[in-house]
Amino acid sequence: MGKMRLTAQTNGTTEGFCLVKSVAARTDVKGSEYLDMVLADSEGECVAKLWNYSRVYHGSFAPNDIVKVRGSVQIWKDNEQFKIDRIRLAAPEDDVDMSLLVPCAPTDPQAVYDELYTLAQNFQNDDLRRLTQYLLRENRDALLLYPAGVKLHHATRGGLLHHTISVVRLAEQIAALYPWLNRDLLLAGATLHDIGKLVELDAGELGLAGAYTAEGQLLGHISIGMSMIAQAAEVTMVPRETAMLLEHMLLSHHGTPEYGSPRLPMIPEAEVLSVCDLLDSRMYEMHSALDTVAPGGFTERIWALDNRQLYRPTNP
């Protein structure tokens, strides 16, 4: 377990922003109430105590709250714990860097969103432009936040846009290699292929998915995304065939029934999308796994990669 990232003060205390993982009000042997907490950031977590706690004076705290704390590390029964001297909820003007608190995508979500929106703006097909931009606008706030999964690839704050832009850029390269493909259809499908995850996942304000929603469990992001396409097509008055082609791309983008697609790709653009989606997810899994292995070593068996072990060369 790593230590949290806190800034040292001249009086021997430390302070900084962190995330409340758990919190419980308890009573000590003298009958005084205190808070028993676990605080965390991207570096690690620690047990923390707020002695002589008064809800009126200190306020109320809950899991996933972002707080600023000041205190000192003490040893209790051979274990470190953080004694809180001061604590408050983070305020908007604090402008907390979330990458210091939770796992975040390496890309800037706003920059990626702008790139996708501009890409759609330049579509030659006005129907695909209207539909794609409509769904991007309607879901902007969630897109800037959401991960692409609970545990597997791109399961980080902003991970959905990170995965989406990677798939789009792969598709752009393939469209340049095969100019007879319908480029606008391919890139619209790549942009929207995982839009249903905004409903499938329960990401909360932190942008991390701890669970699936009821709709996610019962319907899955593929069918949810198809429904979102169909509804958006009605609002934007997009022809049924255009919407149907996009829906098919979402329906088949996992490639085979084994991976959740009820239909195999039946148009070239759908085939390209399924290949790009699989490639990006596997490259992410491989990179993440190999990043923890020393040169010359093997990873553990990876379920998401057909239970394979990966080797990290000594001289890449």
Q: Look at residue 292 in the predicted model and tell me its pLDDT.
A: 85
Q: For the chain, what percent of residues have pLDDT higher than 70?
A: 93
Between the alpha carbon of residue 174 and those of residues 171, 220, 225, 232, 269, the distances in Å are 5, 28, 24, 27, 10
Kindly report the CA angle at 102 between 101 and 104, in degrees rounded to 5?
120
Least confident residue range of 126-140, 187-201, 295-309: 295-309
Question: What superfamily would CATH give domain 7-94?
Answer: Nucleic acid-binding proteins (2.40.50.140)
pLDDT tens, position by position, 247-256: 999 999 987 7
Dist. CA 113–CA 58, nearest whole Å: 39
Dist. CA 140–CA 158, nearest whole Å: 12
Q: Look at residue 4 in the predicted model and tell me its pLDDT.
A: 57
- Give the relative orientation of helices 109-121 and 126-138 as an angle to the nearest 10 degrees: 160
Dist. CA 260–CA 252, nearest whole Å: 8
Higher pLDDT, 17 or 113: 113
CA 242 to chain centre: 30
Q: Look at residue 1 in the predicted model and tell me its pLDDT.
A: 36
Averaged pLDDT, 97-121 = 92
pLDDT tens, position by position, 31-67: 888 889 899 887 778 889 988 887 766 778 888 889 9
Q: Look at residue 13 in the predicted model and tell me its pLDDT.
A: 82
Q: How confident is the model at residue 104 (pLDDT cuts 50, 70, 90)?
A: confident
Averaged pLDDT score across all residues of the chain: 89
- For the chain, the domains span 7-94, 102-290
Dist. CA 5–CA 100, nearest whole Å: 8
Q: DSSP letter for 69, please.
A: E
Is the pLDDT at 9 greater than 60, yes or no? no
Q: Look at residue 57 in the predicted model and tell me its pLDDT.
A: 66
**pTM for this entry:** 0.83
CB 19 within 8 A of CB 101: yes
The verdict on domain 102-290 having CATH code 3.40.50 is: no
Q: Look at residue 3 in the predicted model and tell me its pLDDT.
A: 60
Is the pLDDT at 10 greater than 60, yes or no? no
Averaged pLDDT, 221-250 = 96
Averaged pLDDT, 65-76 = 84
Q: For the chain, what percent of residues have pLDDT higher than 90?
A: 50
Dist. CA 169–CA 152, nearest whole Å: 21
Helical residues (DSSP H) of 55-125, grouped into ranges: 55-58, 109-121
pLDDT tens, position by position, 86-97: 889 888 888 888
Beta bridge partners of 17: 68
